[in-house]
Each structure stands twice: as C-alpha cells, then as structure tokens.
Amino acid sequence: MEPLERLLNLVGLLLETEHPLTFEQISETLDAYRAQNTDTAKRMFERDKDILREYGVPLELRDMDAWGGEQGYLIPKDLYYLPEIAFTPEELGSLLVAAQGGGGDTPVEQAAQKLLYGADGGALAGLSGGPLAAGSDARGSLLLETAQAAQDRRHVRFGYRTSQGKVSERGVDAFAVVFRRGHWYLVGHDRERDDIRAFRLSRFIGDLTDVGPGLDPPAKFSAADHVERGPWVPGGEDLASVAFAPDVAWAAADSFRGASTRGPREDGWVVVEIPMADEQEMAGWILGFGADAEVLEPEDLRAGVVARLEAVRG
Amino acid sequence: MAEKRKRTRTVAKTSERLGRMLAIVPYLVQHQGAQMTDVARLFDVPTDQLRRDLNLLFMSGLPPYGPGDLIDVDVDEDGGIWITMADHFARPLRLTRAEALALYLRGTELLSALGRSGAPALASALEKLRDTLGPDMLGDPAAIQGSAAGSPPEQLDALRAAAGDRQRLRIEYFAASTLAWSTRTIEPEEVFSSMGNWYVAAWDVEQDAERLFRADRVRRAEPTGERFSPRGLEGAGRTLYTPSGEDRTVRLRLRPEARWIAEYYATTDRMELDDGSVEATLPAKQLEWVAKLLLRVGPHAEILEPPELVDMVREQARNALANYGR
C-alpha cells in the first residue's frame, strides 16, 4: 500500500472523528497499520504524524475525557480548514498572478494551490496572460525570516556590507520590511548607532540571528516613508530648475519623480523643475546627462556641477 | 547515513504528493467535470502523475471503508474529472504561516511595482488576506510595506496579453541610446519589473536578435495578427544587459563613493581591494554612455581600460562646461 493512501485515510479519520482516538483505536480502524506488528505500526504512525505536521496539518493530542486519564489524537476541523475568504474573482485572480511570478518559490506555490479551489473562470482567466514578476532582489528564507522578525518585533543581528563596501555586524530592533524599486529593506533601530536605519536585504552577509525581544517603533513611525526619504531619492523640499536639450527632456522629466515641465526656453531647451533632497545626489543625476543638461537654479547646485565638471576636465 | 538520506527523500516526496492532493481534491470537488489537462497545468504536475494520484484516491475514504465510504473518481471520455464522497476534503488545509507570509510578501512586491491605482484588486485582496488570517499569521500590517510606484506603464497590459497569447506586436519605442522613436516588430515573451521599471524581453524581428524594452517607453502596441513560438528568453531576475559580440570591455577601479556602479550595472569579474575599492568589468556596446556615467563619479572612478575612454570623459566634461560659458 502506498504511504500517500494511508496518510489520506489517516487525515480523513481524524478529521471526521467526534472524539480523540488512541493509537490502538486508530490501528484497529486503518488496514495499513493493522496489517503490521505493533512495533512496526507504531513506528509507521510516528513517521506519518511527522509528515502531517511538517505539512501543517494540525494533528492534536487531547485528553480522552474530563479526568485526564488517557490521551488521543484528532484534527480539529476549525484549525484544519482554510477560513472562507470572500475574494472577488478579480482579487483572487490578481493574487494568483502575483504568486505565479514567483519563479518556483515553494511556500508561495503551495499557498496559491490551496487558494485555487475557490477560483472560478474569471479568476483563472487572468493567469492566461502569463506571469508578471515584480523583480525582487530578495528571495526565500532570508526574506521570510526578516519579515517574521519585524512582525514579531525581534532584536536581530546580521552581517552587513554597506554600499561603500564596509562590512560590520549589526544589531537591530526590527520594525518593518519595505519593498521599493526592486529592493527589500529591513527598517529598524540600529542599537550601536542609536538611530533608525534601512538595510538592503541583498547586502546581508550570512544568516539572521535572533537575539531576543526588540523595541517598538516610535509612535506614528512609517517605515515606507523612511525608505522613501533615503538619501538616494531625488525628491524633497527644495526645487532644482534644470534645462534639458529637447531630445532628452522627455526621458529626463520621466526619470525624476515629482518633476514638472515648465515649457521651452528660447533656444528650444525644456526647463524642468525637480524636487531635490540631496544636492550631491542631484548633481550626480544631472551630470549623467552630460552636455544635454544645464542647471539654472539654485546657484549652489549650479556651482557644484561646474566644479565637478572642471575637476574631470583637468 | 545513506539509509537516512533515502528516507528523508521519500518523506519529502510523500509530503509533497500529500500536499498536492490535499489542494487538488478540494479543487475537483468545487469544479466537477474539470479537464484532466487543465488541472495538471494549474497544479504544475505531469498528467500521468496526476492520474496515478487520482487512482490512489479510490482506495481512501472514511470508516468503515465499505464500497460506499470510499472516494469515487470518474474520468469521462472527454477527460472531465468527477468526484464524489470527498466532502471531508471539500475545502483545503489552512495556510501555514510561511505560506501566508510568502504570498503576502509576493503580493506586496507586485502591488508596489504596479502602484495602488494600477492594481486595485490586488490591494483589496491583500487586505482581505490580512483581515481573514488575522494577526497570528500576518502580524502588524505596518511590519510589511511596499513603497508605491506611480502608475503602471500604459501599454503593460497589452504587452502582457501579447506575451501570454504569443502574439507578434508592432510597437513604437523610444530608445535611450539613440534618443529617438522608432517602430519595431517584436515577439514579446516575458514581462517583468526590475529596479522599479517594467521591461519586456522580446525577439526583435527586424534585428533578428533578443532585445529588452522598457515598457514605459512603448507608445503604441498593436498585434500584427501573427503568432510566434517562444524561444525561452529569460525574464525576471536576469541582468538588464544582453551581451553581444560587439561589446567593448570597460575595466574600472571604483572607490567607495562609486561602488554603486558595480552594484547597479551588470558588471563581472569583481575584485575587492583592501581600501574598500572594487575593480569591475562593465560590458558596453558603445562607450558614450559610459563616459556620461563616469562624469557622475568624477575622481572616484579610475579607468583601467580602454585608454581612449579617458579622453572621452574629458571631452564630455568640456562639452557640458560650454553650457555654463566655461
């Protein structure tokens, strides 16, 4: 007899039973165990329990009666069955499409397979369009562990390589994981630096170590805003006014979030106003346009760009 | 030891098959008459494996295991699957925390890449998932966030539909390298996002070569009416650069301030140096954009190869300074 058949019968039996069943009762009922001698049957049953629990089947050991004498097994229906989630076909379809873009990530695939039972033609229609992958830089267990640490407010330690190439060990109270433009970040309180920092998961070295309970984030703290405000974002309070050659103006305005076009100059160059958080960073972006860009304002930014160009020209 | 490994493998395989059956049976109960081939495709299992697993179901059921207590599976002549006596498996097993979390993270990624307005159904699906599964499974909603993109590219749906349907497209495309619009005929295979931008990996019919197109730079996309057979082009997770025989090799030494170049672009042969610098090779079809890139980092990058790039960067600087009357 195939183990799968035995396991399916075991799940069915323990789901439908009204009272907990002892191993003896189970082995009397199921042929697969009855056909073996007691020791073999017992070993088989132990192994089957492990498989079921590994797969997430809530196999529980309960007192047979109020006096707590003997104990027996059952699978509580309310813990076994997936709760009813009232998805519309579009909602379920969109989740299935998201899961499909996973590229063979087992927990995601298993989750999607479980949700499929409620899918009608409408939900399945979306899948025919093929996958739509969000292109994430973090996968598998590190992302899961970090997300779980943030949910559980844990204090964690990990090796980290900064964008400048410096490697060190960090101790962080995990507040949240945030996805931004292809990267997952852990946002939390860095204990050594006593400051809130964002860490890119792709720069972690080795595994995450759980140290113990962590601190709560400050009131009204938004992790997504913290990442959005990072120094690499050309967005902020100050405005830079930049003229672009007509050919590139379209692409330029498109690559700066929050940029607004102010119309053409006399020579045809297009003036674009761009919100700016970090002048050095903004100067870098503009230098990438070479001779196709000219900073008009503010004066500091203009002077900064000129100085950097002169340093290169020699 | 070998014995133990073998056992672990058998256990893994059995557990995998069990998991699949506990998901497939509810699907079959809810979708009476579902086609064998459709089910096999949905659950990503070979048809003959599915048939073997379904045969096993005949043998399982509930006590006292008489003929009327066993699950009955009937496959009709059109390949439709009908199942009875499986009510105890009419609904799937709950999600484990890892499954719920992994799905929620994946949905958050896609929602972030599409923007809330671009995927309202996904946004409400994630809310329902969170509300139904509760804090035990998905914890504090603020602990997992996606930074919302603006709105998805206008032609994204058209590109994806064509990729799924294997339809040849005629597109109008703005190429950053030439800074001009052009009309191309493409065979779109994979639609994916990377570093915040959406791309389509496609075969360019006129060029007879693989090309990567930024979806937001596609102005129009119309099916030509022809179908194509996919070549298996790479999608998500690929490098955003398609190497070719015409590539120039650029070798750079990047100081800490310029290290991001090695990380952001598809560089190879990276070598860490003691002072925090990194040496890396950057493939490029033409040197002009590399010269502009190097303007950004100035003295923080040293050009090791090719020597003419040094002059090109200086020339770029001279041209740019002319804008400022210098």
**Residue A221 and residue A193 share a domain:** yes
Alpha-carbon gap, residue A274 to A240, rounded angstroms: 5
Query: Can you name the residues that pair with A275 across neighbouring β-strands?
Result: A239
- Could you tell me if residue A33 is inside a domain? yes
The answer to whether the Cβ–Cβ distance between A179 and B145 falls below 8 Å is yes
Could you state, in chain order, the average pLDDT of each consecutive group of 10 residues for chain A (314 residues)?
A: 85 92 91 88 93 90 80 93 90 89 76 89 71 74 92 94 82 94 90 89 91 92 80 60 86 74 87 82 88 91 92 86
Sequence-distant (≥ 6) Cβ neighbours of residue A303 within 8 angstroms: none
Q: For position A237, what pLDDT does the model report?
A: 60
Q: Which domain covers residue A259, as residue numbers?
A: 238-313
What value, to the nearest 5°, has the Cα angle with vertex B51 and ends B49 and B57? 110
CA proximity to B114, closest of B215, B10, B217 = B215
The answer to whether the Cβ–Cβ distance between B257 and A29 falls below 8 Å is no
**Residue A217 and residue A193 share a domain:** yes
A145 touches chain B (CB under 8 A): no
Among candidates B61, B99, B278 on the partner chain, residue whose Cβ is nearest the Cβ of A107: B99
Closest CA of chain B from A153, distance in Å: 9
Among candidates A2, A12, A82 on the partner chain, residue whose Cβ is nearest the Cβ of B95: A82
Which parts of chain B have pLDDT scores under 70?
A: 1-12, 149-150, 176-179, 236-246
CATH class of B248-322: alpha beta
- Could you tell me if residue A30 is inside a domain? yes
**Residue A72 and residue A40 share a domain:** yes
The pair of three-digit structure tokens given for residue B47, joined into one six-digit string? 């048809």
In this prediction the ipTM stands at: 0.79
CATH code of the domain made up of B156-227: 2.30.30
Q: For position B287, what pLDDT does the model report?
A: 85
Q: How far is CA B189 from CA A135, B168, B278, B321, in A?
A: 15, 10, 35, 43
Q: For position B13, what pLDDT does the model report?
A: 76
**Burial of A156 from C-beta contacts in 10 A (0-12 / 13-18 / 19+):** buried
Q: For position A128, what pLDDT does the model report?
A: 67
Alpha-carbon gap, residue A12 to B57, rounded angstroms: 12
The answer to whether the Cβ–Cβ distance between B89 and A12 falls below 8 Å is yes
**Residue A55 and residue A101 share a domain:** no
Q: For position B183, what pLDDT does the model report?
A: 93
Per-residue pLDDT reduced to its tens digit, B197-213: 888 999 999 989 888 89
Name the 3-class secondary structure at B313. helix
Q: Decide yes or no: CATH 3.30.70 for domain B2-89.
A: no
The number of folded domains in chain A is 4
**Residue A248 and residue A186 share a domain:** no
The pair of three-digit structure tokens given for residue B81, joined into one six-digit string? 């699957």
Among candidates B93, B121, B163 on the partner chain, residue whose Cβ is nearest the Cβ of A88: B121
A107 touches chain B (CB under 8 A): yes
- Could you tell me if residue A135 is inside a domain? no
Find chain B residues with C-beta within 8 A of A107's C-beta: 96, 98-99, 101-103
Among candidates B43, B164, B299 on the partner chain, residue whose Cβ is nearest the Cβ of A113: B43
Closest CA of chain B from A186, distance in Å: 10
Within 10 A of A65 (CB to CB), how many other CB atoms are there? 12
Closest CA of chain A from B177, distance in Å: 11
Q: For position B136, what pLDDT does the model report?
A: 79
Q: For position A104, what pLDDT does the model report?
A: 64
Per-residue pLDDT reduced to its tens digit, A143-197: 999 999 999 999 999 999 877 677 899 999 999 999 988 889 999 999 998 888 8
**Residue A93 and residue A74 share a domain:** no
